[in-house]
Structure 1
Amino acid sequence: MEPESRQPQPQPPQPPPPPVALGTGAVARRLGVSPTTLRSWERRYAIGPDRRETGRHRRWTPEDIARLELMCRLTAQGAPPSEAARVARGIAPAGQPAADPAAPGPGGPRALRLGDVRPECRGLARAAVRLDAPAVEDLLAAVLAELGPVTAWEEVIAPTLHAVGRKWASAGERYVEVEHLLSWHVSAALHRIRPAPDQLAGPPVLLACTPGEQHSLPMEALAAALGERGLPVRMFGAALPVDALREAVRRTGPRAVVLWAQSRTTADTSLARAVAGIEWGPRGARGHAALLLAGPGWGAGSAAQPLGTERLFGLRSGLAVIESVAGLQTPGRAPERASAKAPGTAAGRAAPAACGS
């Protein structure tokens, strides 16, 4: 009698492997945001990981990351981070079902008239009107990181500043606090943009506002864009006195000087002629800078533009003019020209009515 053949015994099912939990740095790289942003969201909006390891290290599970991905999508569509976090966590106020904060709602008396703009612009405007400083800061950081200073300025920041300026101009002294808060955070965000480490050698581009001109945000945007391209720049800010401007030109020997004037009262054509005539260096080898006039104060008539100067219209096209007249070109980068949307969104052609404190 043959022995019974042994049948293989079925093995018990193996438990699925535990989900892989990632650290904050890995999650930030996956989502395309900075680790500082993730920590800020966790602190401000309670959208942190469900678990921590010994030593208080954050470990993000797939569920945690899914919530972050939803929050990133909503903020990119223009939702304030506080509302996006509430939806991502599945929480709605007063027990109501969570709604998509990016969905358009009734305008209301405080709404800004923005027209056809990017969703990020609407989100920034809503946060500014609510005086939600953390949301304004987060939205500005996100659009500058994603779009770069040129597109972020022309398609998100400048349209919002225009809308705020129109709002308070038509409402008496109301909404001035909105303009001041938004301008301060825009300036701070632009100053945080680090210049390219491999800057071109040679004389810089000098940026300054005319004496008496306090509106410097467009020049700050230009400084950030030039620095990002590795072009050397010296920024002197608002209301530079006449003697200080002349001394700065002589001491730096710039390739180009950009003078910003917001209104006709600050656009001094005699000053422009004087700056255009400044020379430096030894006899026989004197140099002088190209003078570029920026801002609506210079007007469109030939009488308002001294001979030998050139006007800048918009940030993107202005960069191309600066690179051309100053003989500058970033290696590997073709000169940028104004996009099809430039006439409607150019920062230089129609600067915000009030863009500085």
Structure 2
Amino acid sequence: MSASDISAESLPTPDLHDAGITSGALARELGISPTTLRSWDQRYSLGPTRRERGRHRRWSPQDIATVRDMCRLTASGIPPAEAARTAKARAEQRQLPDSTATTTLIAAAAPPPDEARASASSGLPTGATRAGFRGLARAALRLQSADIEEQLNSYVQEHGVIAAWEELMMPALHAVGRKWESAGDRYVEVEHLLSWHVSTALRRAQALPEPARKRRNDPPVLLACVPGEQHTLPLEAIHAVLSQRGESVRMLGAALPAEALIAAVRRTGPAAVVLWAQTRSLASTPLAHHLLRLAWGANGARQQASVVLAGPGWRGMTVEGSVQPGGLREAVALLAPARLPARAL
């Protein structure tokens, strides 16, 4: 079964009898790997409830209904842990009296906390956010470039870069990443295609609407990944928002050597340096401290850049004098010229 076949609407419904089937047979029927089934059993207790002596474990129709729910939920982009909770709640609901079942079903159908927060912050109804996300995830799984491009661009135009990043782009990228991790080597092409289209949409967004006139005399904001870091999309989102505002910004990209970043700071005299780290192992506190001490300009009027440590790799680390935004919205607010001017010594 191809990736394009796996969607909330197209998951197969095999004709299974009361004797149950083996894990291998169920995996083939649902188009997932046996490893994924074993992982769901070990992590979320979604395994078969019956085992016969000397034989493989058998999946009953009730077990199969639960794992089929799990497939549908994860295919729609819901995180595996949340999907497992919902699938198990629905399984319990199917065996409860009507009055209790109604309450359980309502709880199981509640949107994930992240989605609820995104909808509340944007003013969008939960249904609109969910529908847009599902449509994008479905197009990505089917490698439908035209549909991906259309959905991303229309969402950006209607709701803006920040809302598109928080409510559509980032959740879809995370969902595809989780699917890739749980399916071995499958879906890598999906993640690459979606990432390319997100990057393209963010660059196109700089002209939607007409960008403000660049303030050429303002010190720029430098955007760079720490050495070894390849994830640039969050910085591209910051670049798109700042460019729309007409602010001076320089994108230095992925895996920038420390020496190159230091040279760029000395040459441009930035108001701020945003240093992105996706993983803790790559977050370099010595580099952050060095940037905070780095100064330029004539004696008596020397200046320093503000240092913004962005990304999950910095969580739990303390670098005195730096700021650590919690997300795109907070980062671009901190990077307004009035908030982070170049600091005089």
Partner of 2:323, secondary structure, is strand
- The partner residue of 1:227 within 214, 220, 243 is 243
TM, length-normalised to structure 2: 0.61
Query: Which one is further off, 112-121 or 270-279?
Result: 112-121
Larger radius of gyration, structure 1 or 2? 1
Which amino acid is 1:326 matched to?
Answer: L
Equivalent positions of 1:117-132 (< 5 A) are 118=129, 119-132=131-144
Which amino acid is 1:209 matched to?
Answer: C
Which amino acid is 2:157 matched to?
Answer: A
- 5+ residue gaps in structure 2? 1-70, 80-111, 116-125
TM superposition shift of 1:110: 4.4
- 5+ residue gaps in structure 1? 1-105, 329-357
C-alpha separation in 1, matches of 2:289 and 2:325: 17
- The partner residue of 2:273 within 222, 233, 257 is 257
- Is the 2:272–2:341 Cα contact (8 Å) retained in structure 1? no
C-alpha separation in 2, matches of 1:186 and 1:244: 27
C-alpha separation in 2, matches of 1:180 and 1:240: 21
TM superposition shift of 1:134: 0.9
- 2:166 counterpart of 1:150: no
- 2:199 counterpart of 1:187: yes
- Is the 1:290–1:325 Cα contact (8 Å) retained in structure 2? no
Partner of 2:283, secondary structure, is coil
C-alpha separation in 2, matches of 1:137 and 1:251: 37
C-alpha separation in 2, matches of 1:221 and 1:126: 23
Which amino acid is 1:171 matched to?
Answer: A
TM superposition shift of 1:269: 0.5
TM superposition shift of 1:170: 1.6
Equivalent positions of 1:1-357 (< 5 A) are 107=72, 110-113=75-78, 115=112, 116=115, 118=129, 119-194=131-206, 196-200=211-215, 201-300=217-316, 304-323=317-336, 325-327=339-341
Which amino acid is 1:219 matched to?
Answer: L
Aligned-pair identity in percent equals 51
How many residue pairs get aligned? The number is: 220
Query: Which one is further off, 274-283 or 316-325?
Result: 316-325
C-alpha separation in 2, matches of 1:156 and 1:111: 13
Q: 1:108 to 1:314 in 2, by over 3 A?
A: closer
Over the residues paired in the alignment, what is the CA RMSD in angstroms?
1.9
- Is the 2:148–2:194 Cα contact (8 Å) retained in structure 1? yes
Q: Deviation digits for residues 47-101 of structure 1, max 9, x if unmatched?
A: xxxxxxxxxxxxxxxxxxxxxxxxxxxxxxxxxxxxxxxxxxxxxxxxxxxxxxx
C-alpha separation in 1, matches of 2:227 and 2:175: 27
- Is the 1:112–1:125 Cα contact (8 Å) retained in structure 2? yes
The match for 1:66 is none
TM superposition shift of 1:224: 0.2
C-alpha separation in 1, matches of 2:341 and 2:304: 13
Q: Identify, as 1 or 2, the structure richer in helix.
A: 2
- Is the 1:256–1:289 Cα contact (8 Å) retained in structure 2? yes
Which amino acid is 1:198 matched to?
Answer: R
TM superposition shift of 1:275: 1.1
Partner of 1:325, secondary structure, is coil
